[in-house]
Amino acid sequence: MKNIFTIVIAMILLLPCFAFAEVKIFEKEYTYQASEIDSKVTSRAIAVEQVKRLVLEELGTYLMAETEVRDFQITKDRVVMLTAGIVQTEILNEKWDGERYYLKARIKADPKEVAAAVDRLRKDAQKSKELEDVKKRADEAFKEIEKLKSEIEAVKADKNKQKQYAKTADILSAADWYKKGYQHGLNKEYDDAIEAYTKAIALNPNDAYAYNLQQSWD
Protein backbone atom coordinates (compact mmCIF):
# COMPACT_ATOMS: atom_id res chain seq x y z
CA MET A 1 0.00 0.00 0.00
CA LYS A 2 2.87 2.33 0.85
CA ASN A 3 4.46 1.70 -2.56
CA ILE A 4 1.20 2.46 -4.36
CA PHE A 5 0.82 5.69 -2.37
CA THR A 6 4.37 6.70 -3.29
CA ILE A 7 3.71 6.08 -7.00
CA VAL A 8 0.49 8.12 -6.91
CA ILE A 9 2.27 11.04 -5.24
CA ALA A 10 5.07 10.88 -7.81
CA MET A 11 2.56 10.95 -10.67
CA ILE A 12 0.81 13.97 -9.16
CA LEU A 13 4.12 15.80 -8.85
CA LEU A 14 4.93 15.07 -12.49
CA LEU A 15 1.62 16.37 -13.81
CA PRO A 16 2.69 20.04 -13.92
CA CYS A 17 5.65 19.08 -16.12
CA PHE A 18 3.40 17.43 -18.67
CA ALA A 19 0.92 20.30 -18.47
CA PHE A 20 3.46 22.69 -19.97
CA ALA A 21 3.69 20.73 -23.22
CA GLU A 22 0.74 21.56 -25.46
CA VAL A 23 1.25 19.99 -28.85
CA LYS A 24 -0.82 21.45 -31.66
CA ILE A 25 -1.48 19.83 -35.02
CA PHE A 26 -1.62 21.79 -38.26
CA GLU A 27 -2.67 20.04 -41.47
CA LYS A 28 -3.08 21.20 -45.05
CA GLU A 29 -3.86 19.58 -48.41
CA TYR A 30 -2.76 20.65 -51.86
CA THR A 31 -3.33 19.34 -55.37
CA TYR A 32 -1.02 20.38 -58.19
CA GLN A 33 -2.40 20.29 -61.70
CA ALA A 34 0.46 19.18 -63.93
CA SER A 35 1.16 21.03 -67.16
CA GLU A 36 2.22 19.43 -70.43
CA ILE A 37 5.88 19.93 -69.54
CA ASP A 38 5.62 18.42 -66.05
CA SER A 39 6.75 14.96 -65.02
CA LYS A 40 5.93 13.13 -61.81
CA VAL A 41 9.20 14.43 -60.34
CA THR A 42 8.61 18.09 -61.18
CA SER A 43 4.96 17.86 -60.11
CA ARG A 44 5.95 16.47 -56.72
CA ALA A 45 8.64 19.11 -56.20
CA ILE A 46 6.14 21.90 -56.82
CA ALA A 47 3.37 20.25 -54.77
CA VAL A 48 5.70 19.71 -51.78
CA GLU A 49 6.81 23.34 -51.84
CA GLN A 50 3.22 24.56 -52.01
CA VAL A 51 1.74 22.34 -49.31
CA LYS A 52 4.60 23.14 -46.93
CA ARG A 53 4.10 26.84 -47.50
CA LEU A 54 0.43 26.46 -46.64
CA VAL A 55 0.96 24.54 -43.40
CA LEU A 56 3.84 26.80 -42.29
CA GLU A 57 1.66 29.82 -43.00
CA GLU A 58 -1.04 28.39 -40.73
CA LEU A 59 1.50 27.74 -37.97
CA GLY A 60 2.90 31.26 -38.39
CA THR A 61 -0.57 32.77 -38.05
CA TYR A 62 -1.12 30.81 -34.82
CA LEU A 63 2.26 31.85 -33.39
CA MET A 64 1.57 35.52 -34.13
CA ALA A 65 -1.84 35.36 -32.47
CA GLU A 66 -1.31 33.04 -29.51
CA THR A 67 2.33 33.17 -28.37
CA GLU A 68 5.08 35.60 -27.39
CA VAL A 69 6.05 35.85 -31.06
CA ARG A 70 3.53 38.68 -31.42
CA ASP A 71 5.83 40.80 -29.21
CA PHE A 72 8.98 40.18 -31.28
CA GLN A 73 8.22 43.03 -33.70
CA ILE A 74 8.89 40.92 -36.78
CA THR A 75 6.64 40.25 -39.75
CA LYS A 76 4.67 37.06 -40.22
CA ASP A 77 6.65 36.34 -43.38
CA ARG A 78 9.84 36.32 -41.31
CA VAL A 79 8.21 34.12 -38.67
CA VAL A 80 7.22 31.63 -41.39
CA MET A 81 10.75 31.73 -42.82
CA LEU A 82 12.32 31.00 -39.43
CA THR A 83 9.86 28.24 -38.50
CA ALA A 84 10.69 26.50 -41.79
CA GLY A 85 14.12 25.85 -40.30
CA ILE A 86 12.74 24.71 -36.95
CA VAL A 87 9.76 22.39 -37.40
CA GLN A 88 9.55 19.25 -39.49
CA THR A 89 6.66 18.80 -41.89
CA GLU A 90 5.35 15.27 -42.30
CA ILE A 91 3.82 14.15 -45.58
CA LEU A 92 0.79 12.09 -44.54
CA ASN A 93 -0.51 11.11 -47.95
CA GLU A 94 0.38 11.60 -51.59
CA LYS A 95 -1.18 10.49 -54.86
CA TRP A 96 -0.21 10.92 -58.50
CA ASP A 97 -2.63 10.03 -61.28
CA GLY A 98 -0.57 11.28 -64.19
CA GLU A 99 -2.29 14.67 -64.23
CA ARG A 100 -2.60 15.77 -60.61
CA TYR A 101 -0.28 15.43 -57.63
CA TYR A 102 -2.11 15.41 -54.29
CA LEU A 103 -0.37 15.89 -50.95
CA LYS A 104 -1.50 16.12 -47.36
CA ALA A 105 1.01 17.52 -44.86
CA ARG A 106 1.10 17.90 -41.09
CA ILE A 107 3.13 19.75 -38.49
CA LYS A 108 2.98 18.59 -34.87
CA ALA A 109 4.61 21.05 -32.50
CA ASP A 110 4.41 22.76 -29.14
CA PRO A 111 3.82 26.42 -30.10
CA LYS A 112 5.61 27.68 -26.98
CA GLU A 113 8.70 25.66 -27.84
CA VAL A 114 8.57 26.86 -31.44
CA ALA A 115 8.19 30.47 -30.26
CA ALA A 116 11.25 30.09 -28.03
CA ALA A 117 13.21 28.61 -30.95
CA VAL A 118 12.12 31.47 -33.21
CA ASP A 119 13.34 33.92 -30.58
CA ARG A 120 16.77 32.26 -30.44
CA LEU A 121 17.05 31.97 -34.20
CA ARG A 122 16.06 35.57 -34.97
CA LYS A 123 18.91 36.74 -32.72
CA ASP A 124 21.46 34.59 -34.57
CA ALA A 125 22.44 36.66 -37.61
CA GLN A 126 24.39 33.88 -39.35
CA LYS A 127 21.73 31.19 -39.04
CA SER A 128 18.98 33.62 -40.00
CA LYS A 129 20.97 34.62 -43.10
CA GLU A 130 21.29 30.96 -44.13
CA LEU A 131 17.51 30.52 -43.97
CA GLU A 132 16.95 33.79 -45.82
CA ASP A 133 19.22 32.60 -48.62
CA VAL A 134 17.57 29.20 -48.96
CA LYS A 135 14.13 30.86 -49.04
CA LYS A 136 15.40 33.24 -51.71
CA ARG A 137 16.62 30.31 -53.83
CA ALA A 138 13.28 28.53 -53.46
CA ASP A 139 11.33 31.69 -54.34
CA GLU A 140 13.50 32.34 -57.40
CA ALA A 141 13.12 28.73 -58.55
CA PHE A 142 9.37 28.91 -58.13
CA LYS A 143 9.19 32.15 -60.14
CA GLU A 144 11.31 30.60 -62.89
CA ILE A 145 8.99 27.59 -63.01
CA GLU A 146 5.97 29.86 -63.38
CA LYS A 147 7.75 31.85 -66.09
CA LEU A 148 8.62 28.73 -68.08
CA LYS A 149 5.07 27.39 -67.71
CA SER A 150 3.75 30.65 -69.16
CA GLU A 151 5.94 29.95 -72.22
CA ILE A 152 4.77 26.35 -72.47
CA GLU A 153 4.62 26.18 -76.28
CA ALA A 154 8.19 27.46 -76.57
CA VAL A 155 9.35 25.06 -73.86
CA LYS A 156 7.67 22.08 -75.56
CA ALA A 157 9.62 22.87 -78.73
CA ASP A 158 12.96 23.49 -77.01
CA LYS A 159 14.74 20.60 -75.27
CA ASN A 160 17.14 22.99 -73.55
CA LYS A 161 14.21 24.81 -71.95
CA GLN A 162 12.75 21.46 -70.88
CA LYS A 163 16.05 20.62 -69.17
CA GLN A 164 16.05 24.06 -67.57
CA TYR A 165 12.54 23.45 -66.23
CA ALA A 166 13.55 20.08 -64.73
CA LYS A 167 16.71 21.61 -63.24
CA THR A 168 14.73 24.43 -61.67
CA ALA A 169 12.42 21.89 -60.05
CA ASP A 170 15.53 20.15 -58.70
CA ILE A 171 16.67 23.43 -57.12
CA LEU A 172 13.25 23.68 -55.46
CA SER A 173 13.66 20.16 -54.05
CA ALA A 174 17.23 20.93 -52.98
CA ALA A 175 15.98 23.86 -50.92
CA ASP A 176 13.55 21.53 -49.17
CA TRP A 177 16.32 19.04 -48.36
CA TYR A 178 18.49 21.88 -47.08
CA LYS A 179 15.76 22.91 -44.63
CA LYS A 180 15.45 19.28 -43.49
CA GLY A 181 19.19 19.18 -42.86
CA TYR A 182 18.96 22.45 -40.98
CA GLN A 183 16.20 21.06 -38.75
CA HIS A 184 18.19 17.88 -38.02
CA GLY A 185 21.23 20.00 -37.19
CA LEU A 186 19.28 22.05 -34.64
CA ASN A 187 18.12 18.79 -33.06
CA LYS A 188 21.73 17.48 -33.01
CA GLU A 189 20.72 14.64 -35.37
CA TYR A 190 23.96 15.01 -37.29
CA ASP A 191 23.85 11.79 -39.34
CA ASP A 192 20.39 12.70 -40.62
CA ALA A 193 21.58 16.25 -41.29
CA ILE A 194 24.52 15.00 -43.37
CA GLU A 195 22.20 12.74 -45.36
CA ALA A 196 19.80 15.61 -46.06
CA TYR A 197 22.59 17.98 -47.12
CA THR A 198 24.05 15.27 -49.36
CA LYS A 199 20.68 14.99 -51.15
CA ALA A 200 20.50 18.79 -51.44
CA ILE A 201 23.95 18.86 -53.05
CA ALA A 202 23.04 16.04 -55.47
CA LEU A 203 20.07 18.09 -56.67
CA ASN A 204 21.90 21.42 -56.65
CA PRO A 205 25.72 21.10 -56.71
CA ASN A 206 26.00 24.90 -56.42
CA ASP A 207 24.52 24.89 -52.91
CA ALA A 208 27.60 26.15 -51.03
CA TYR A 209 25.83 26.30 -47.66
CA ALA A 210 24.78 22.65 -47.84
CA TYR A 211 28.26 21.58 -48.92
CA ASN A 212 29.98 23.47 -46.10
CA LEU A 213 27.63 22.10 -43.44
CA GLN A 214 27.89 18.57 -44.81
CA GLN A 215 31.69 18.75 -44.60
CA SER A 216 31.68 20.26 -41.11
CA TRP A 217 29.70 17.31 -39.69
CA ASP A 218 31.10 14.50 -41.83
What digits encode the pLDDT tens for the residues 69-84?
999 999 999 999 999 9
**114 lies in some domain:** yes
Q: Is 11 domain-assigned?
A: no
The confidence band for 218, taking pLDDT boundaries of 50, 70 and 90, is low
> Residue 19 pLDDT > 70, yes or no?
no
Q: Is residue 60 part of a domain?
A: yes
Please name which of 107, 104, 89, 99 lies closest in space to residue 32, comparing C-alpha atoms: 99
* pLDDT value for 208: 62
The answer to which of 20-24, 51-55, 103-107, 197-201 has the lowest mean pLDDT is 20-24
Has residue 2 been placed in a domain?
no
Please, is 163 exposed, middle or buried when counting C-beta atoms within 10 Å of its C-beta (0-12, 13-18, 19+)?
exposed
Q: Is position 88 within any domain?
A: yes
- Taking a C-beta distance cutoff of 8 angstroms, is the pair 142, 49 a contact? yes
Expressed as residue numbers, the domain containing 110 is 22-217
Mean pLDDT computed over every residue of the chain: 88
Residues in CB range of 140: below 8 A, 6 or more apart: none
Residues 6 or more apart in contact with residue 95 via CB below 8 angstroms = 101, 102
Strands 100-109 and 90-96: antiparallel
10 located within any domain:
no
Supply the pTM of this predicted model. Answer: 0.83
* E-state strands within the chain: 24-33, 90-96, 100-109
Split into its structural domains, the chain has a count of: 1
Q: Is there a domain that residue 68 lies in? A: yes
pLDDT of residue 187: 87
In a domain, 65, yes or no: yes
Burial of 186 (0-12, 13-18, 19+ CB in 10 A): middle
| pLDDT surpasses 50 at 162 | yes
The pLDDT assigned to 153 comes to: 86
